[in-house]
Amino acid sequence: MKVTVVGLGKIGLPLAVQFAASGAHVFGADVSDSVVEQVNRGSEPFPGEADLDARLSEVVASGRLVATTDTAEAVSESDVVVVVVPLFVDDEARPDFGWMDSATDDIGRGLRRENNTLVVYETTLPVGTTRTRWKPRLEEVSGLVEGEDFHLVFSPERVLTGRVFADLRKYPKLIGGLGDEGTQRAKSFYEQVLQFDERPDLPRGNGVWDLGSAEAAEFAKLAETTYRDVNIGLANQFGKFAAANGIDVHQVIEASNSQPFSHIHSPGIAVGGHCIPVYPRLYLWNDPDATVVREARAANAGMPAYTVGLAVDALGGSLSGKRVAVLGAAYRGSVKETAFSGVFATVDAIRSAGGDALVHDPMYSDEELSSFGWSPYTFGEQVDVVVVQADHPEYREIGKDEVPGVALVVDGRRVLDRSRFDGVPVLVVGEGARR
């Protein structure tokens, strides 16, 4: 079986490696010459993905994975095409299909009637996109007919960067096709290239789940991520109320979640990454009347300013003349990625309050931090205020000795060991004054 994976990013490359390790001959297609060159050397182009380096080296050395910039040529030789090209959303919550349109045109040029190719989109999409955008576009470019000459299926990726291989085993693979033949072929394909953990807790058991239509599969991904955004928005609302009334919201959440019908998430300074801040907007594109979703997204987007506001209020209404160290550029701990990270809004809020913002992150060099327009911070330098933005494990070990002169700490992730800041006020999002 020959498979083309279109898009060798932080999800696409591990997928290509997984398919190759399971016996397929895989073409990895990407527009980046440097990515293709690195993959063909057996070298991972981005750090941080567990087990990727060793697995990539093995499948490249065996000849089961070859990278190329010629997507159409790779598709012309393939039985299956899996698309993991990024979809972006602008500030007005409108999808920008530019990269995906370009990739789809390349795929269409490579489709051959004699191959009867299965095309699977894994990029998260607004409901209806597979049927109303990709089907006619592929048919127009290729001159072929979906359901007769090729088959189209949607199957959302459900993994997190840093643990892709583990997540591929842990969660059911959802599929939804435009026709029965394509659906069955997708089911057979994923059963060959994925291995699943035992999950007796699941009503269907673990494996490939057919949801009956592409639209249902598209909706399932949006629903699971939008749920998380709304849940976090509720937790943040609870956190603000608790702090204003001298209550520790974390104790409240722990107590509430001690029975099986409550699953409240944790409040925090920001919701970042490629998924949770973005996919609710894709849902809103189809359902603009979803006021609950819209309000939760707005509430979460406002948390960096609220968190910095805790410091502003504690210091008399201004950060003027204060050096403020923001700990964490990444959107979450142990992941070198700034997509929709709260660091941007946090730095803006500090500057708006008159503070001098400096940024630290153990995963980024000073040069990389400077390229974002930030002044890098190094432990040991004098600082007046600390704001924790990312829950890197390294931050659990720091104390006031690492940030000399600090007069106030705001922990936006509840990650610090407060005993290491003896004598320094530590404010935590969602916690009121303690008795």
Q: Catalytic residue positions?
A: 221, 275
Q: How many residues does the chain have?
A: 435
Cα(398)–Cα(416) distance, integer angstroms = 7
DSSP 42: T
Q: Which two tokens stand for residue 390?
A: 């990312």
138, 100 Cβ separation under 8 angstroms: no
Which DSSP helix (H) or strand (E) runs through 281?
Answer: helix 279-286
**Angle, helices 303-314/343-352, rounded to nearest 10 degrees:** 40
**For the chain, how long is the longest CA-to-CA vector?**
75
Alpha-carbon Rg for the chain, nearest whole angstrom, is 24
Cα(319)–Cα(132) distance, integer angstroms = 51
SS3 350: helix
SS3 358: strand
Q: Which residues contact 415 (CB under 8 A, 6 or more apart)?
A: 333, 388, 391, 392, 395, 396
18-22 contacts at long range (C-beta below 8 A, 24 or more positions apart): 18/164, 18/165, 18/168, 18/193, 18/194, 19/82, 19/193, 20/59, 20/62, 20/64, 20/65, 21/55, 21/58, 21/59, 21/64, 22/192, 22/193, 22/194, 22/195
Cα(273)–Cα(278) distance, integer angstroms = 8
Q: Which two tokens stand for residue 352?
A: 């708006």
